[in-house]
Structure 1
Amino acid sequence: MFDLFKEKLADAEQTVAFGSRLSGACESPVCIYLHGDLGAGKTTLTRGFIQGLGHKGNVKSPTYTLVEPYELADWQVYHFDLYRLGDPEELEFMGIRDYFSDTSHCLVEWPERGEGVLPPPDIDLTLSYAGEQRVIELQANTEAGLRVLNKL
């Protein structure tokens, strides 16, 4: 485990802006696990991340599809939402390992549901409630994750 980064986010707009800032700090492929209760802002943050890399369209939650791919100029971004995953083995059937490459960023909501199949994260990101605001905490787990946190 490496450094911990913590910041308060006043609203959804700041959450999107932080996601954009986070994507700008990712110069190499990263895997980010997104932790937090329902409605904590995981998908909102992911929208900012993907738009920060140049995506102009909608960013929707992949709750029913498990993964939404985004082909961008320099990266592929894969947004996973494993909330409805019945068994981690389902990830093997969808070829989960192919998504984690040297040209992709992977953001995974509800990663504990894919435990044992998912690769370890570079960053564990947690969104929690603080009254009307949110608190975001990022824990770097690898050298790649530490480089991202140092740029923030």
Structure 2
Amino acid sequence: MEFTVNDPAETEKIARLFAQCVSPGDVILLKGDLGAGKTTFTKGLATGLGIHANVKSPTFNLIKEYHQGRMPLYHMDVYRLEGVGGAELGLEEYFNGNGVSVVEWPQFVEEDLPDEVMTILIKKVPDNDRQRVLEFTENSAHFQRELKQLVKLI
């Protein structure tokens, strides 16, 4: 399923709406080029969960936890794990926890990811610096239901 957005505010809006559909234990993989809008999407998701903290990419921390919303948000930027993997980070504790996990650059920890995930590819649109295509791909009935909920909200 794809959504075209015209600016970062629309990216955040889609993510805020999607936050109404997510459940504890969900793992969301964000893919896209540098500057595509992965952290912008995460900011919108956090707002939709009722988290009003300043969400930034956890590039140097790898994982930032936000606990003040309707469920915890575990924001992971695993770009620095290229060639190393995340085996020693205890990612499964987050993935099996009571919050939603968002993983930026998931290709660097593929072997540590659970079987059921929602993947969101954020693609830049040529000749338009602000426009993006958000491509949602689910691999389970659980995430299919969440996508159907999202479509009803939009």
TM-score by length of 2: 0.89
- Whether the 8 Å contact between 1:81 and 1:110 is mirrored in structure 2 is yes
Q: How many residues align?
A: 146
Q: Aligned pair in 2 of structure 1 residues 82, 102: CA closer, same or farther (>3 Å)?
A: closer
- Whether the 8 Å contact between 1:32 and 1:121 is mirrored in structure 2 is no
Residues 92-126 of structure 1, C-alpha deviation per residue, up to 9 Å, x if partnerless? 22211111125111111100000212223421100
Q: Aligned pair in 2 of structure 1 residues 121, 127: CA closer, same or farther (>3 Å)?
A: farther
Partner of 1:81: 77
Structure 2 counterpart of 1:101, from 96, 104, 114:
96
Partner of 1:45: 41
Higher RCO (C-alpha 8 Å, min separation 6): 1
Q: Does 1:111 align with 2:106?
A: yes
Deviates more, 1:91-100 or 1:46-55: 91-100
Structure 2 counterpart of 1:137, from 135, 138, 141:
135
- Whether the 8 Å contact between 1:122 and 1:144 is mirrored in structure 2 is no
Q: Does 1:126 align with 2:124?
A: no
What CA distance in whole angstroms lies between the structure 2 residues aligned with 1:28 and 1:82? 21
The amino acid that maps onto 1:22 is F
Give unmatched runs, 5+ long, in structure 2. Answer: none
Partner of 1:148: 146
Q: Give the drift of 1:26.
A: 1.4
Deviates more, 1:53-62 or 1:66-75: 66-75
- Whether the 8 Å contact between 2:76 and 2:102 is mirrored in structure 1 is yes
RMSD across aligned positions (CA): 1.4
- Whether the 8 Å contact between 2:63 and 2:77 is mirrored in structure 1 is yes
Residues 51-83 of structure 1, C-alpha deviation per residue, up to 9 Å, x if partnerless? 111111200101111111111343111111111
Aligned partner of residue 115 in structure 1, secondary structure = helix
Q: Give the fraction of aligned pairs with identical amino acids, expressed as a percent.
A: 34
- Whether the 8 Å contact between 1:9 and 1:136 is mirrored in structure 2 is yes
The runs of at least 4 aligned residues of structure 1 exceeding 6 Å deviation read: none
- Whether the 8 Å contact between 1:123 and 1:141 is mirrored in structure 2 is yes
- Whether the 8 Å contact between 1:34 and 1:125 is mirrored in structure 2 is yes
